[in-house]
Structure 1
Amino acid sequence: MHALNQPRRAEDALEDLKAGLGAHAVLTGADVPARNCNDWSAQLPRRPLAVVRPVDATGVSQTVAACRAAGLPFVPQGGMTGLCGGATPEAGWVAISLERMTGIEEIDTASATMTVKAGTPLEVVQNAADAAGFLFPLDLGSRGSCAIGGNLSTNAGGNRVIRYGMTRDLVLGLEVVLADGTVVTNLNKLLKNNAGYDLKHLFIGSEGTLGIITRVVLRLFPKPRSTMAALCALSDYDAVVTLLGEARNGLGSNLSAFEVMWPDYWQVVTERIGVRAPVGSGHGLYVLVETHGSDEAADGARFQAWLEGMMEQGVLADAAVAQSHAQTQAFWAVRDACAEFGQVLGPHVSYDIGLVVAHMDAFATRCKTALSAGIPGCESVYYGHIGDGNLHLVAWVPGLAIEQQPKAAMDAIIYGLVRELGGSVSAEHGIGTMKKPWLGHARSEPEIALMRTLKTALDPDNLLNPGKVI
């Protein structure tokens, strides 16, 4: 009887939503956009039963209530730029897209906060902060497409974690719709607020499995009055570790980025992609160092003196210093060129892991060897935000389509080494479905059991983005 009634219940639920939210807010069948069928991960797209596009938390709550009444699983969606399948639907699910929930509601200059709707693109948030004389420091390559709610749901990292922290460090308050449709609003602007549990941290990083974030209060920071950047060449990884320590000591709180690129990465971006290299090839490693400061003259002199000291000590083999904003952007173009890997490498699999800094080069060397030996023809390149313990790599077998890439074999090699070295299978991209089989490599059984307890408590019917993370 349940199976016979289920299609009718689903149809009734969607008709109720059309009546309540407007027919244009509920897309079904051929009207479901391709973008809502998959994120940027290497999974095959899956068309949901419907895409519902509310404009506020009340609409999200109504959608959740309708889905629950019909027994329909539902998944929240933002910019769909995730890489682990966290926002990907299954057939028969309802996708709750926040794409119409956009806009800056308030910038409080006295509190240095911004209240924003969850579907707002990150770049819009950045630009609004800049226009108000502030900096919102979260920055990702997908800034023009990703939504701030999705950034929160995955606790995104990005390029400046070494100074400003992860996304959770940039959030003061949230509005969330729970799995039962309850709207919990705590748009807190206070930096200090110890009135009970800090509930926002339940939802930041939970990948839409515990609640649907609808509005957020973000911390803003003073806009830097100076930005200094240098692209450095070093002989080996010991020199990189030395440079990082000296940067922390010599540049202090001004240090905003410390990006490391291995020679295989350098070769791909400078020779195959064609990005102009500020320093010559043939070195052991390459590092992009950036600082944010408040006094251009003093900061410039300090940065130059620090670099000269590193050269005199033999830490650096070569270095180029940006003399303008355009040159700083050109330096970052070398690091951001990974966005073009698909055009020059063809189908490939991306990885995002966390390791203590001391182990990163050993991991890169061992992993490259193991992939080549264990998977005929497998190539790989390495790069990352080394200052905050985050290493990225991509692996591929040339000539194979994405569905033919031996991802299972790659995963076993890569995540096996991560576990051996005490790292994390996800530094900033989340778990979703792609990394779910490997969660135990980075979290203990008691930790995973506690995650399941929280999920059961908040979503006892297991309808909110089921099967993700745990």
Structure 2
Amino acid sequence: MEDEIRTVLSEELGDLATFGAEIPERYRRDWLSEQAVTPIAVIRPRTTEDVSRALRLCSRLGISVVPQGGMTGLVGGAQPVAGGVALSLDRMTAIEEIDEVMATVTVEAGATLGDVQRACEQAGLFLAVDLGARDSCQVGGVISTNAGGNRVIRYGMTRENVLGIEAVLSDGTIVTSLNKLLKNNAGYDLKQLLIGSEGTLGVVTRAVLRLHAQPQSFCSAFCGCADFAGVIGLLKAARSTLGAALTSFEVMWPSFYDFMCDGLPELRRSLAGRHGVYVLIEASGPAGQARQSLEDLLAAEIDAGHIADAVLPKSERETTELWAVRESVSEYGRLMGPLTGFDIGIPTGEAGAFVAEIEAALARHWPDVHALSYGHIGDSNLHLVVNVPSAGAHQPHDALCDLVFEAVSRYGGTISAEHGIGTIKRDYLHLTRSPSELEVMARLKRALDPRGILNPGKVLAPPHSATSQAVSPTVSPSATPPSGPA
């Protein structure tokens, strides 16, 4: 049967399709998976019409299609399936137009986020979506996972920065809605169905992204707080004092900060002594204004007792050093064995209690555990990275997921804040989505993908999941992501 499918694909798609041993390794697994899967073919279209032709053909043949972007996801969303095809948009990289009047950029889905950022910067505009994997991740993947990043507190998730989308449905239908208008209430907003759907409802081929004025300067401050109550006081004051100038509010608990600083000699501690919680604040604005606003904020918050100590960098080099610890997540492989990473959302005011509870619970179950807590707490996103040294290569990831996700549910949080569901969180989705929500999701899937060929086994379990392959959430220390768990 597969030989017949290969023949049909080859005849109808020509050089768009690659088969067997000719398929490069990068298309056989996404970043998270240790197990390579060779699909029947990799299809690399050059145009939206090529995508339409490929999906129409696969729908007719009844074979699964896994869309692939930059392969930097952390939930197994781009992992190919045996007996299906992988659809990579890495040939569709055009930055078609930067409209300086409308403040938009129109791009093909295979363009990397970093390339689009640089093109916009040259035009004097600013693409606010930013990820550590910016030079690897592709716009289509960023949209399909509704990626977040460090500046969500100011500019929102990817969803808030997408004005228009062109996509291809499972039957090959091209839906073009490349809207540039900030205000457009004409009927259903179809793009919202596709943003964050992880390629299960359609394949994004082009997009219109919203741009902003290029900030004249960014300024950062590093703070030590005695406890999480101080962090909450600082966050409220930062929102009030800085307003729209507040672009990042990153929090690191000692479990993360001390572990990374003690383990990586190139990192420099920016504050004397040790503190209960550490905070990185970034503000943007006209030259000099951001720094003055931060100085005023720090002085007031030290007087209020929310900050025990703080530092403002005097140079770009010192700014880089301040952020080095927070961005050292790509170095986990140097410090620990296989790890299980959690990207969760917790109501901001409860994050301190949650961290204290979950770190204590993990230590009770696994006394030698490394549990590192940090994240974008200004937008309620917490990252937790866990390694049990005594377990070696056989990390207890199922037990870890059960423990952590049950606690997330009790706290009214979400099992996925910015990396999606993929395969590794699919079976826990019911903990943070109601039965009625799950049923509506299933209805949408049936309506837009009636044959169930698009990214099977991702997000929602398909009625027949013989071709879906779950991916272990345990990350190999040798597989360092372009950004690490952000």
TM-score interval, normalised by the smaller of the two chains: over 0.9
Deviations 1:254-306 (A, max 9, x none): 0000000000111122111231222234210100000111x223333222112
Aligned AA (2:235): L
**Structure 1 residue 375 displacement after superposition:** 3.3
Any unmatched runs of 5+ in structure 2? 461-486
RMSD: 1.3
Residue 383 of structure 1 is matched in structure 2 by 374
Does the CA contact (< 8 Å) of 1:43 and 1:85 recur in 2? no
Render the CA deviation track for 1:411-450: whole Å, top value 9, x for unaligned.
0000010011110000000001100010001000000000
Asked whether the 8 Å contact 2:92–2:110 carries over to 1, the reply is: yes
1:135 alignment partner in structure 2: 126
Q: What is the one-letter code of the residue matched to 1:240?
A: V
Partner residue of 1:117 out of 108, 118, 122? 108
Asked whether the 8 Å contact 2:246–2:282 carries over to 1, the reply is yes
Cα distance in 2 for partners of 1:192, 1:456 equals: 30
Residue by residue, what CA displacement relative to the aligned partner does 1:394-427 show, whole Å, maximum 9, x if unpaired?
Answer: 001126555x111000000000100111100000
Q: Which has the higher contact order (CA 8 A, sep 6+)?
A: 2
* Match among 261, 281, 299 for residue 289 of structure 1: 281
Q: Distance in 2 between matches of 1:352 and 1:17?
A: 41
Q: Is the 8 A contact 2:220 2:283 kept in 1?
A: yes
Alignment-derived partner of residue 407 in structure 1? 397
Name the amino acid aligned to 1:12: T
- Report the identity percentage: 47
> In the alignment, which of 92, 115, 125 is matched to residue 83 of structure 2?
92
After TM superposition, the structure 1 = structure 2 runs for residues 278-317 of structure 1, keeping only pairs within 5 Å, are 278-293=270-285, 295-317=286-308
Paired residues of 1:163 and 1:257 also in contact (CA < 8 A): yes
> 15, 39, 42: which is aligned to 2:10?
15
Q: What does the per-residue CA deviation read over 1:84-141, in whole Å, with 9 as the maximum and x for residues that have no partner?
A: 0111111111000011111211000000000011011111111111111111111111
Does the 8 Å contact 2:120/2:126 carry over to 1? yes
- In the alignment of these two chains, the number of paired residues is 459
Partner letter of residue 174 of structure 2?
V
Mark the runs of 5 or more structure 1 residues left unpaired by the alignment: 1-5
The aligned amino acid for 1:452 is A
Q: For 2:12 and 2:78, how far apart are their aligned partners in 1?
A: 21
Number of the residue aligned with 1:52: 43
Q: Following TM superposition, by how much is the alpha carbon of 1:345 offset from its aligned partner in structure 2, in angstroms?
A: 1.4
Contact in 1 for aligned 2:2/2:83 (Cα 8 Å):
no
Q: Name the CA distance, whole Å, in 2 between partners of 1:302 and 1:70.
A: 61
- SS of 1:191's equivalent in the other structure is coil
Structure showing the higher helix proportion among its residues: 1
Listed as ranges, the matches of 1:386-397 within 5 Å are: 386-397=377-388
Does residue 326 in structure 1 map to residue 321 in structure 2?
A: no
Q: CA deviation at 1:42?
A: 4.5
Structure 2 match to 1:451 = 441
Q: Which amino acid aligns with 2:327?
A: D
Q: 1:33-432 counterparts in 2 under 5 A? A: 33-42=24-33, 44-274=35-265, 275-293=267-285, 295-375=286-366, 377-398=368-389, 400=391, 402=393, 404-432=394-422
**Match of 2:200, SS?**
coil
Q: TM-score, normalised by structure 2?
A: 0.92
- Bigger mean CA deviation after superposition, 66-75 or 162-171: 66-75
Pair 1:463-2:463 in alignment: no
Q: Kindly tell me: are residues 91 and 215 of structure 1, through their superposed partners in 2, closer, same or farther at Cα, counting changes over 3 Å? A: same
* Letter in structure 2 aligned against 1:418: V
- Give the match for residue 463 of structure 2: none
CA distance in 1, matches of 2:12, 2:42: 11
Moved more, 126-135 or 109-118: 126-135
Could you tell me which amino acid in structure 1 is paired with residue 338 of structure 2? P
Deviations 1:68-94 (A, max 9, x none): 222211110000101101111111110
Residues 211-236 of structure 1: CA distance to partner in whole angstroms, max 9, x if unpaired? Answer: 00000000011111121110101100
**1:8: how far off?**
4.3
Determine the C-alpha separation between the residues in 2 that align with 1:281 and 1:340: 24
Q: Distance in 2 between matches of 1:181 and 1:281?
A: 61
* Whole-angstrom CA distance in 2 between matches of 1:164 and 1:98: 27
> Cα deviations across residues 28-53 of structure 1 (Å, max 9, x unaligned)?
11122222122222453322111111
Q: Residues 2 and 40 of structure 2 are in contact (CA less than 8 Å); yes or no, is this contact kept in structure 1?
A: no
Q: Which amino acid is 1:136 matched to?
A: L
Which amino acid in structure 2 is aligned with residue 119 of structure 1? Answer: G
Could you tell me which residue of structure 2 aligns to residue 3 of structure 1? none
Tell me, what secondary structure is at the counterpart of 1:416? helix
Letter in 2 for 1:242: G
SS in 2 for 1:214: strand
SS in 1 for 2:80: coil
Contact between 2:90 and 2:110, CA under 8 Å: does it hold in 1? yes
Structure 1 stretches (4+) deviating beyond 4 angstroms? 399-402
**Given that residues 19 and 41 in structure 2 are in contact (C-alpha distance below 8 angstroms), is that contact kept between their aligned partners in structure 1?**
yes
- 1:392 maps to amino acid: H
> Secondary structure at 1:299's aligned position in 2?
helix
How far apart, CA to CA, are the structure 1 residues paired with 2:361 and 2:34? 25
